Amino acid sequence: MDTEQELSELLERYKRLEPIVDERLNRIFDKDVDRLMLIMHRVKTVGSIKEKMVRKQGKYQSVRDMTDILGFRIICFFSNDVDRIAQKVSEHFRVNWNRTKDKRKLIDARAFGYLSLHYICALPEEDDDLGDLWFEIQIKTILQHSWAEIEHDLGYKSEIEVPWEVRRNFSKAASLLETADDIFSGIYGGLSEYKNRVKTDVESESLDDLFFDRHTITEYTLHNRDYRNLLDEIASITDAHITEGIPETQLPLVRFLGIDTLGDMSRLIRKEHDLTMELARKSLQDSGLDELISTVAYYYLFRAKLIEGDYSRERIREFFAMTTSNESIIESNTDRLWSERGNHGR
């Protein structure tokens, strides 16, 4: 049995280890901020350690046999990220494969909260000072984490402590959460495949089956020949440098003008090319601008469509009201474009 002094000294060493592991994990996953929600950690208290030693009597001969005195939890959004995260952990820490548990392989639906990957780790061999201390890294999805926190808050340490009625509801909730976890992962995977397909179709000019959304307008603006040629032509008016903008901001205007597919946009560019360039030259040739945003071609193209198309003054005003809340600017833009329509015999 460990003495109070030994336990206190061990905890002090773990408290020294905690910020070291935290810093390394954050450095390892620094570029994964969009796929990682957060990294949590804690060192068990003396009371918690003693309670566990009593509760699991016979399992531990010494407190040094416990592998979760220091615990980390890496929380990600999607279940298909767990293995990728685990691979990185195993590349930067020693892993005790005999004591590591893949609790995702549990069959019992009530165990959803525990369907996480638990790695028992230590610092690399060269870190001799604290290299003998083992700690636990749990890798969970946000839904698994939420479930675990709720269970912990309810205060039940094992299934046999839970009343039958509550256990039945636990089981139903576990089923729903696991289904949601799978669905969210499927949605994310489907979006990744969709983005890859959009990129391929835009590059191959297969545009008529691609409807405008956040991903398609981004790829179109970046890579479509019709659009980039028009953009380069506009930029050449003042020898301006092109800065990439945020194409998805154009989506409400695209929908307002009834431009459904990327193919529709390319046909519009070819149809309205000359008027678009006329409007751009009139606006830019004496401006001295040396930098233009990549969505500027939409700006002049859409105005060309409003001039050539069958739009009432009120509809044109509605268009400009989508670009600003300033009433005087809305009126000024509407008047100017309505006048341009008159100049072009509309």
Q: What is the DSSP string of 154-169?
A: HT--SGGGS-HHHHHH
Place of tokens 């100049």: 343
Closest listed residue to residue 283, CA positions, set 310, 303, 268? 303
Residues contacting 111, CB < 8 A, separation 6+: 103, 174
Neighbouring CB atoms inside 10 A of 175's CB total 13
Note down pLDDT in tens along the chain; length 346 residues: 567 888 889 999 999 999 999 999 999 988 765 667 789 999 998 888 888 888 877 788 888 888 899 999 999 998 888 889 999 999 999 999 888 877 655 545 445 555 678 999 999 877 678 999 999 999 999 988 888 887 777 655 555 566 777 777 877 887 888 889 899 999 988 998 999 999 998 988 889 999 999 999 999 999 999 999 999 999 999 999 999 999 999 999 999 999 999 999 999 999 999 999 999 999 999 898 999 999 999 999 999 999 999 999 999 999 999 999 999 999 999 999 999 988 876 6
Residues contacting 271, CB < 8 A, separation 6+: none
Q: What are the angstrom distances between the C-alpha of 178 and each of 54, 112, 147, 165, 168?
A: 33, 7, 10, 20, 16
Task: State the fold for domain 4-183.
Answer: Beta Polymerase; domain 2 (3.30.460)
The residues spanned by each domain of the chain are 4-183, 214-343
**How many Å apart are CA 225 and CA 247, to the nearest integer?**
16
Residue 3 buriedness (CB in 10 A; 0-12 / 13-18 / 19+)? exposed
